[in-house]
Structure 1
Amino acid sequence: MSEYENIFIGENTKKLVIHLKNHGEVLNLNPNFELMKQLDVGGVKGLAVTAGIEGDYDFISRYFNPWAGINEDPVTGSVHTLLASYWCEILGKNRLSAHQASKRGGEMVLRLRKDKRLEIIGDFIITLKGRIYI
């Protein structure tokens, strides 16, 4: 059983976050997505698991949402709006280096501005492009 530091739900995002004590456990998670789909999650819109890490990053994370058909999201900007605020407060800084440790994975620099908005900096690939006419 994993030891955790904190568990909370984002007030606006409704994403559940579990802060584990050991980053190795985040890396080695092997969720049973079929079992997760059967759970009544009561409005939770995804599960982020995170831990601090020494070295090139301030923290790592993984993000799961089998309830929406996304077992593991490779790199998730939306959950990092929540994780950035959380880790900035813990680490006492407003610029963080983060790694989402999915199979494909990705690195981000997160900068929490004074107006509480978040800048996410990193390389990306456009996977969908479109227009909405109103």
Structure 2
Amino acid sequence: MREQTIFWAPEVLPTVVPVAVSTSTLGQGPTSQPPFDLATGHVRRAADGWHAVLQIGSVEHRIWSKQPLTAGARYAAELPFDGDLETRAHAATRLWRVMNGRAPGPPFHRVPKQRRERLCAALRAAAAY
């Protein structure tokens, strides 16, 4: 049987990381962020933008962009302050970690409840600052 990749919109699956081409000069230099390796997964154009499922190590990472996803481009995560911010931030952190050669860490639902609550409180405090 043939497996088919399923693409999700970020408003439906909060672990999809919305990204945009980065125009920032922050973080550029000898240790700058590596670009997405779009060859590690599947990319699809849809009516709402570009979807990608990247297989990095043993983990699938899902990204979405209104702009075309281009190999070699630098991207920034766009995390809306909505009810799914914590989940999106966790997914973006996992993606950033593997792009930098680190272990991704546990999926969001596997983070202990107490730690998840502390992380949520820290994000709310940072957002209010």
Q: TM-score, normalised by structure 2?
A: 0.31
The TM-score normalised by the length of structure 1 is: 0.31
- The higher relative CO (CA closer than 8 Å, separation ≥ 6) is in 2
Structure with the bigger percentage of helix:
2
